Amino acid sequence: MATSAPRTLRSPFLMTPSLNSRLPLPSAFSIALRKNGRAVKPLVVVVSAAALDAKPTVLVAEKLGEAGIELLKEFANVDCAYNLSAEELCTKISLCDALIVRSGTKVSREVFESSAGRLKVVGRAGVGIDNVDLSAATEHGCLVVNAPTANTIAAAEHGIALLTSMARNVAQADASIKSGKWQRNKYVGVSLVGKSLAVMGFGKVGSEVARRAKGLGMHVIAHDPYAPADRARAIGVDLVSFDEAIATADFISLHMPLTPATSKILNDGTFAKMKKGVRIVNVARGGVIDEEALVRALDAGIVAQAALDVFTQEPPPKDSKLVQHERVTATPHLGASTMEAQEGVAIEIAEAVVGALKGELAATAVNAPMVPSEVLTELKPYVELAEKLGRLAVQLVAGGSGMKTVKVTYASARAPDDLDTRLLRAMITKGLIEPISSVFVNLVNADFTAKQRGLRITEERISLDGSPESPLDFIQVQVANVESRFASAISEAGEIKVEGRVKDGIPHLTKVGSFEVDVTLEGSIILCRQVDQPGMIGKVGSILGEENVNVSFMSVGRIAPRKQAVMAIGVDDQPSKEALKKIGDVPAIEEFVFLKL
């Protein structure tokens, strides 16, 4: 299939297309995401080298439902290439804007490195993202989205299928009868009714398993350190401690994600605390069980039976003692594999990936903060202000790379909970870093990039009285311990200080150092310090006029009449060196600086 040549955009994504002054992406800013009639949390992001190409390229590396492929094809070139080796994936990825995988593909750091900045979205067609190196994705500014809801019921049903078939030896009896035997005495099972089931991980799948197990007459308890007790109570489930859950249960069903904290959470030590004859179901991730310890517990009779859909290594080795164990029922990671779930997952992930490539808001981002669309709409001009203040501040630093500490102050009449500043901080970071480096910064990688560069950004809030109609009164950016190319930008406290406000929806620069100014943050800005006297505006204006540089705005901030003043001049075009020299040669002008926004 056709793929377009790799291309590198220096700053391929901002937070939303409508905020993106560089890419003419279609506006998707006001889209309110809805799912099942309910508003869902969206997130910004965005993306795409593809914005300038005819079509982006999406690599689908594992089988995806047809409905999803069709959706992708409406917007992108779709390359379905299954069973790629790690090397083949790394080679192909440099030609792709998005990658869609299930659990069978390792999206490693090498994949992100090989993409050389082109890969903008990884779509995980399912829930678990333990096969995606999230840190590497974030470091490369690549958004990761998943499809967290479409396979929940399928996984829960598979958990129940394993629970019931394990209890009644269905798989073993089936194999026996097919081999010509009729072993009615050997396959006597155990009943579920009245037995205690511990659901470990009371999230989407766990709670559906619990609901179904209640219907089977089981006594259901659950352990989940993060689940709200009222959600459990609503379906008649008690939340208990880990130790109580494993020590009292007749059946244990695992439904937590694989994380460093849950890795091998069932091990020799925990098996030893369980009731003798306990039965275990795992449709979560193989890695949450120490598989060798499980074999030992089965052999010791602590665990009577296990039913496993997932394994540490998939597929497991052919001679796996666990899979071969007589009292183990195994399925090859089929939890999400129903026609309905795969169709749903395919649509869910295709929509998320296309949305992200178009620059729309994505509700299922895994490695970026979520910002509801209504908040985003309101914050839009402040987001622009934030980035421009960052750009101005860093250009005022003499040798910008020496910048280490930046303090951002938000003045607002809103309650702290009503003002999410992560997006603003990301945009200030973008503004601070992009003019002095070749990295692009977005909501995904802003904090990481700042940390990596040793740039400490602290945030402070000033609570204002009055009507909290607008989210912010002003934003102030202060850069500490640096010298400035424009000495007047240094405040009384010895820091470079710029401050801005939004007026009628337009960002304005309102303070430089200790000088009040008022100039719209559009085009570029010339800042001049001069001795306040009549005719200065005319003099500088006519120099720029002679050079055919259009002046959009001028403002003078002074300490006192006839003392020093700072003049801020907004210009549409970049003045020539000669024009700037002429401005510098005006006798009353003591210093000046040209700043690109």
Ligand X SMILES: NC(=O)c1ccc[n+]([C@@H]2O[C@H](COP(=O)([O-])OP(=O)(O)OC[C@H]3O[C@@H](n4cnc5c(N)ncnc54)[C@H](O)[C@@H]3O)[C@@H](O)[C@H]2O)c1
Show which residues are catalytic: 285, 314, 333
| Helix, strand and coil percent figures for the chain, each rounded to 5 | 35, 25, 45
For residues 457 and 375, give the distance between their C-alpha atoms in angstroms, rounded to a whole number: 23
290 binds, among ligand X, ligand 3PG, none (CB under 5 to 8 A by kind): none
The DSSP secondary-structure symbol of 313 reads S
Residues 336-395 that bind ligand 3PG (CB under 6 A): 336-337
* Least distance between ligand X and beta carbon 322 (Å): 16
Cβ neighbours of residue 120 closer than 8 Å, sequence gap 6 or more: 12, 13, 46, 47, 48, 49, 97, 98, 141, 142, 143, 356, 357
284 binds, among ligand X, ligand 3PG, none (CB under 5 to 8 A by kind): ligand X
In this structure, are strands 98-101 and 57-60 parallel, antiparallel, or unpaired? parallel
For residues 27 and 129, give the distance between their C-alpha atoms in angstroms, rounded to a whole number: 30
Tokens of 59: 């690599």
Asked if residues 408 and 465 have their Cβ atoms less than 8 Å apart, the reply is no
309 binds, among ligand 3PG, ligand X, none (CB under 5 to 8 A by kind): ligand X
Size of the site for ligand 3PG (CB under 6 A): 12
Closest CA to 527 of 535, 515, 539, 543: 515
Sign of CA dihedral 206, 209, 211, 214: negative
- The smaller minimum CB distance to ligand X, of residues 131 and 172, is found at 131
Asked if residues 112 and 310 have their Cβ atoms less than 8 Å apart, the reply is no
Asked if residues 517 and 540 have their Cβ atoms less than 8 Å apart, the reply is no
- By the rule CB under 6 A, 127 interacts with ligand 3PG: yes
102 binds, among ligand X, ligand 3PG, none (CB under 5 to 8 A by kind): ligand 3PG
Q: What's at 191, amino acid-wise?
A: S
97 binds, among ligand X, ligand 3PG, none (CB under 5 to 8 A by kind): none
152 binds, among ligand X, ligand 3PG, none (CB under 5 to 8 A by kind): ligand X
425 binds, among ligand 3PG, ligand X, none (CB under 5 to 8 A by kind): none
Q: Which of 42, 56, 117, 126 binds ligand 3PG (CB under 6 A)?
A: 126
Degrees, nearest 5: CA angle 534-537-538: 90
Tokens of 563: 């003392």
* Least distance between ligand X and beta carbon 330 (Å): 12
- The smaller minimum CB distance to ligand X, of residues 152 and 312, is found at 152
203 binds, among ligand X, ligand 3PG, none (CB under 5 to 8 A by kind): ligand X
- By the rule CB under 6 A, 255 interacts with ligand 3PG: no
Asked if residues 421 and 410 have their Cβ atoms less than 8 Å apart, the reply is yes
- The smaller minimum CB distance to ligand 3PG, of residues 104 and 435, is found at 104
Tokens of 90: 């790394």
- The smaller minimum CB distance to ligand X, of residues 152 and 530, is found at 152
Q: Residue 303: left (phi > 0), alpha (psi -120 to 50), or beta?
A: beta
* Least distance between ligand X and beta carbon 312 (Å): 13
Degrees, nearest 5: CA angle 454-458-461: 170
- By the rule CB under 6 A, 128 interacts with ligand 3PG: yes
For residues 517 and 162, give the distance between their C-alpha atoms in angstroms, rounded to a whole number: 70
125 binds, among ligand X, ligand 3PG, none (CB under 5 to 8 A by kind): ligand 3PG
The DSSP secondary-structure symbol of 487 reads G
- The smaller minimum CB distance to ligand X, of residues 131 and 510, is found at 131
- The smaller minimum CB distance to ligand X, of residues 118 and 158, is found at 158
For residues 123 and 110, give the distance between their C-alpha atoms in angstroms, rounded to a whole number: 17
- The smaller minimum CB distance to ligand 3PG, of residues 337 and 405, is found at 337
Site string (80-109) toward ligand 3PG, x via CB under 6 A: ----------------------xxx-----
Residue 393, helix vs strand vs coil = helix
- By the rule CB under 6 A, 163 interacts with ligand 3PG: no
For residues 20 and 41, give the distance between their C-alpha atoms in angstroms, rounded to a whole number: 22
- By the rule CB under 6 A, 308 interacts with ligand 3PG: no
Residues of the shown chain interacting with ligand X in the complex, contacts defined by CB under 6 A: 127-128, 148, 151-152, 155, 200-206, 223-227, 255-258, 261-262, 283-285, 309-310, 333, 335-336
- The smaller minimum CB distance to ligand 3PG, of residues 126 and 201, is found at 126
* Least distance between ligand X and beta carbon 149 (Å): 8
- The smaller minimum CB distance to ligand X, of residues 200 and 444, is found at 200
Q: Which of 335, 381, 400, 471 binds ligand 3PG (CB under 6 A)?
A: 335
Helices (H) and strands (E) in the chain, counts: 18, 24
Angle between helices 536-546 and 577-585 (to 10 degrees): 160
Q: What's at 440, amino acid-wise?
A: F
Query: Residue of minimal CB distance from ligand X?
Result: 203
Residues 132-161 that bind ligand 3PG (CB under 6 A): 151
The residues of the shown chain that bind ligand 3PG, judged by CB under 6 A, are: 102-104, 125-128, 151, 333, 335-337
